[in-house]
Structure 1
Amino acid sequence: MNNVIAPIVTTTAGDVRGVRRDGDAAFLGIPYAAAPVGALRFAAPRAPNPWAGVRDATRPGATPQRRLLGLEPSFPEPTVPGHETLNLNVFTPAAGEPDRRLPVMVWIHGGGFAAGSQASPWYDGRSFSRDGVVVVTISYRLGFHGYGWIADAPMNRGVLDQIAALEWVRDNIAAFGGDPAAVTIAGQSAGAISVMTLFTIPLAQSLFRSAICMSGADRIQSLAEAEHVGRALAVAAGAEPTVAGWSALTEDQVLDAQDAFGIATPPDEIDPAAFVRSALMPPGDQGMPFGPVIDGDLLTRSVGDALAGGVAADKDLLMGVTAHEFTLWMLHAEEHLRGVDVVEAMVEEGLPRELARDYVASHPELPSAAALLGQLIGIRGFRQSMMRWADLRAKTSPDLTWLYDFRWPSPFYSDLGVHCVELPFAWDLLDADGVARTHGPHPPRELAKVTHAAWVAFVTEGDPGWRPWTGGVGMVFNETSREQPILGIERRLADAAAVVWPETKIGRDGARESGSS
């Protein structure tokens, strides 16, 4: 039923009342699973408990995020207290109209698998509603609670949460005007890693038809790596590595122990040549101790292996990166690195001089050694990951993969196109809280119009509007967006690294190989 003042929709667990807005309705904090507390704290998600009457869904639900990563977030990511942390938000122009069958985008937020919030104003779906797309933004358990190894608990609890949310969408989204057969999963950063994980899990294949991967990295742990961290964390926390042992600790005690294994921080002293080699090695854990794990059950192989084997070969995939993902990570060392010749540093580690010169020449916007070295982090972690996945898809799924490179320079970030910079453009939310602080007072509205239109076209039609990837051309988004060659220098660096440092050669699955090339 659709009430003009306060829309009410019936879900499988009970009725929910949203709020009518200008052009759509928002339903906030709807539980898709039971609260992960008590016996469910480290268990696989369970169905939410049904409720009687009409549940209020006009305020954000509780967030799994309890603490920030220790850094000032680049955009608002509110923490909302409460126990029912497994919830989602629905933004729709067709509440209570099951015959509308509009396309659906399910959004998975980033935050290094340790933070992030489904309640961010940067994830408001009003612009997608305007363009006929239903948006669902979901939460999932973070950090150790979501991904930590426990001897007698299921692995990948955060991934299982995401699958449970997609199952909720399958069973309920028609009541909100959405089409359960036209679901696109989308995410950025850790959310994009989640997207590629779901994209290649057999269990999830029936729950979506296409995917958007924004700044994803080839980052899935082995079970041995996860167990090593889990046991070390248990020792640090003074707990037995079992459900009973961890359940004896409060949430704050677990978070205190987790903080000691947090996101890596930049080194104070940097050997430029050694840094070149380490930056171009396989991405490893990307400084993140938690995330999806190849557990032999839910995840049986890496994203690369799954793509090479033809998993999701029938699904459309849009992938992209920003121009300078983590370039700023090294700017703290600008004075320390002043006068360093990056070409010579690359040559010292064995890379061809011509390639080193071409790399520096390809980034005239990076005037310092610190920035040029920092750029290598994003090249290995994000750009080459995307390139490998896209190349595999070009073999198994021709004409179903599209790539983009978002290059708009933010004046707030030294005129660089950094991690997260594309979000308010893709969502067409330049007036959202916090955008003026990170993008300046006048970010280009035409760029938001073009970028958002591509996302809407992909979610709706399965085609963002440019040529599919065949190995060279993608869409470059800036104030004069157009198709052009991308990833040329990244490919040359990957090829050279495999020859110069054969022990760091990247296999098709993104894992480091041993031996010669």
Structure 2
Amino acid sequence: MDSLDAPGEPCTVRAPAGTIIGRRIGRARRFLGIPFAEAPTGARRFAAPAPRGRFTEPFDASRHGATAQAVPLFATTTVPEPSVPGDDVLNLGIVAPAADDDRVPFPVMVWIHGGAFLAGSPASPWYDGRAFARDGVVCVTVGYRLGVDGFAVLDDVPANLGLRDLLLALDWVQENIAAFGGDPDRVTVAGQSAGGAAVLALLSSPAGGRRFHRAVSLSGGTFAVGGDAARHFLGRLADRLGVPPTRAGFGSCTVEHIQQGVLDLRSERGDDTLVLGPFVGDDILPVPIADGLSVHGHGVPLLLGATGDEFDGDAIPGNPHPSPFNAAELAAARAAGTRVTDTLFRAACPRAALSRRDATAGTWLYSFEWASPVLGGATHCIDIPYFFDVLDAPGVTEALGPHPPAELATLMHADLVGFVRGQEPTWARATGTLGDPAREYGRPGSALVADTTGVFDPVVRAVSGVAEAC
């Protein structure tokens, strides 16, 4: 496998954005930390993102750019999430097939990282696109503003700045990706957790337009934060920081100070709920996401699913999301569809299929069921190394154990690559009907390629023969 630390050989691309110098490592070309917007500092800090001007000098894209995460939200995370200092946090990385690959133009996957809209890092080694480049796909990872800077609900501040960042990044991809061998007419937007929720938000938005053509949501949801709830949290945070809950007040604090305040406040109160995130009521999300899915994005095929246990793994050392229940209680709760996993994540899958039942493009479901022996279940995030086919990446052994099944990674990655290329999944579409089929990955005792029916039955109930999320 290619090494992220290997120096490689310089490779140059001349794009509309300017001359960009990356590194070629094996059969992959890497261009990291490319700013797609002006740095959100000073007057731009709480403003809509401004497109980056054309580079007047060759841009060195040999290392990851600054991350919006300055202070990690959790002491322990399943996904390695490095923080990189700097102001130019609105940047993206590209891993593309070698320039002499004869499969051009390549389909493109734009990846949005998770982190509860408060944290996370596009520089994670779990998001390395080398296997996609190997298989003829350009992989783009995107940074966007987080927490207060990205999703504060304040007077004189545009709502959903983090989503606006992502839309501008997709515009940059449309304008520039052909220079890297990518096909701007075959762009898939994909993400996990908060990133998966952002995918569904963008798919439901009238602003999504023609920026992307397929969508993948891993452990996402139709998450949105009400204005009153956001303002209440911002008021408590401002009190803690000793500033007024205004644009000027928060603007007087450094990003590090604010993120540390969020961390301290959540830790003090034991608050694990979504406190900042997509806001419904502006031009980006004028209606709730589930309602927007019934109107927008009907021509965009959607693949979505969840892990079997998400936040309900065994309470064993090292699990960052343990369940407070014992094994018997968890089994009963899963059968009833009442776990946090079911209500937050798995219910979103039939709900999205139901919202899109009149769409011209299909909706397909999957369920990841392979249980990590380290974390005690098919928990949140552990499907990422399988979809990216990076089982040798740092942190994988610590989360998945010493022998994660390589054949499962081969299968899941091939399914995702096929979808990004424009292929229709081999299993039947979901329509929100009770018993919708889903691709099931890795349940003990079942064939790796088995399709199952009714994987999401516990989180739906029959209403005149139609599935409705509980």
Q: TM-score of the superposition, structure 1-length normalised?
A: 0.81
Number of the residue aligned with 2:372: 410
SS in 2 for 1:256: helix
Matching of residue 459 in structure 1 with residue 420 in structure 2: yes
Number of the residue aligned with 1:301: 287
Number of the residue aligned with 1:274: none
SS in 2 for 1:203: coil
Q: How far off its partner does 1:148 sit?
A: 1.2
Letter in structure 2 aligned against 1:460: R
Q: How far off its partner does 1:399 sit?
A: 6.0
**Cα gap change, 1:264/1:94 in structure 2, threshold over 3 Å: closer, same or farther?**
farther
**Cα gap change, 1:195/1:261 in structure 2, threshold over 3 Å: closer, same or farther?**
farther
Number of the residue aligned with 1:327: 312
**Cα gap change, 1:459/1:334 in structure 2, threshold over 3 Å: closer, same or farther?**
closer
Number of the residue aligned with 2:233: 229
Q: Which has the higher helix share?
A: 1
Matching of residue 311 in structure 1 with residue 296 in structure 2: yes
Structure 2: distance between partners of 1:465 and 1:235: 54
**Cα gap change, 1:96/1:195 in structure 2, threshold over 3 Å: closer, same or farther?**
farther
Q: How far off its partner does 1:257 sit?
A: 2.8
**Cα gap change, 1:399/1:293 in structure 2, threshold over 3 Å: closer, same or farther?**
closer
Q: Please say if residues 321 and 404 of structure 1, whose CA atoms lie closer than 8 Å, have aligned partners that are also in contact.
A: yes
Number of the residue aligned with 1:426: 387
Structure 1: distance between partners of 2:10 and 2:348: 45
Q: How far off its partner does 1:491 sit?
A: 1.5
Q: Please say if residues 9 and 96 of structure 1, whose CA atoms lie closer than 8 Å, have aligned partners that are also in contact.
A: no
Q: TM-score of the superposition, structure 2-length normalised?
A: 0.88
SS in 2 for 1:413: coil
Structure 1: distance between partners of 2:400 and 2:164: 35
Q: How far off its partner does 1:96 sit?
A: 9.2
SS in 2 for 1:75: coil
One of 339, 356, 379 as aligned partner of 1:376: 339
Q: How far off its partner does 1:38 sit?
A: 1.1
Number of the residue aligned with 1:11: 15
One of 232, 242, 245 as aligned partner of 2:246: 242
Structure 2: distance between partners of 1:122 and 1:487: 27
One of 353, 359, 369 as aligned partner of 1:397: 359
Q: Please say if residues 104 and 181 of structure 2, whose CA atoms lie closer than 8 Å, have aligned partners that are also in contact.
A: yes
Number of the residue aligned with 2:459: 490
Stretches of structure 2 that go unaligned for 5 or more consecutive residues are 1-7
SS in 1 for 2:30: strand
**Cα gap change, 1:462/1:341 in structure 2, threshold over 3 Å: closer, same or farther?**
closer
**Cα gap change, 1:111/1:361 in structure 2, threshold over 3 Å: closer, same or farther?**
closer
Number of the residue aligned with 1:201: 205
SS in 1 for 2:309: coil
Letter in structure 1 aligned against 2:223: R
Letter in structure 2 aligned against 1:259: L
Q: How far off its partner does 1:378 sit?
A: 0.3
Structure 2: distance between partners of 1:391 and 1:299: 19
Letter in structure 1 aligned against 2:348: S
Number of the residue aligned with 1:503: none
Structure 2: distance between partners of 1:379 and 1:443: 25
Q: How far off its partner does 1:305 sit?
A: 0.7
Q: Please say if residues 36 and 172 of structure 2, whose CA atoms lie closer than 8 Å, have aligned partners that are also in contact.
A: yes
Identity of aligned residues (%): 38
One of 24, 28, 42 as aligned partner of 1:24: 28
Q: How far off its partner does 1:397 sit?
A: 2.0
Measured against aligned partners, the alpha-carbon deviations of 1:372-423 in whole angstroms (never above 9, x if no partner) come to 99x7110100111111111222x21266010000001111112x11001111
Q: How far off its partner does 1:256 sit?
A: 3.2
Letter in structure 2 aligned against 1:487: F
Aligned Cα RMSD in Å? Answer: 2.9
Structure 2: distance between partners of 1:182 and 1:425: 23
Stretches of structure 1 that go unaligned for 5 or more consecutive residues are 268-285, 344-358, 364-371, 496-506, 513-517
SS in 2 for 1:10: strand
Task: Give matches, 1:49-448, under 5 Å.
Answer: 49-95=53-99, 100-262=104-266, 287-308=273-294, 310-328=295-313, 342=329, 360=332, 376-393=339-356, 395-397=357-359, 400-414=362-376, 416-448=377-409
Measured against aligned partners, the alpha-carbon deviations of 1:249-307 in whole angstroms (never above 9, x if no partner) come to 2223322332244379879xxxxxxxxxxxxxxxxxx7021111013322101111112
Q: Please say if residues 12 and 21 of structure 2, whose CA atoms lie closer than 8 Å, have aligned partners that are also in contact.
A: yes
Between structure 1 and structure 2, the one with the greater Rg is 1
Q: Please say if residues 138 and 182 of structure 2, whose CA atoms lie closer than 8 Å, have aligned partners that are also in contact.
A: yes
Q: How far off its partner does 1:98 sit?
A: 12
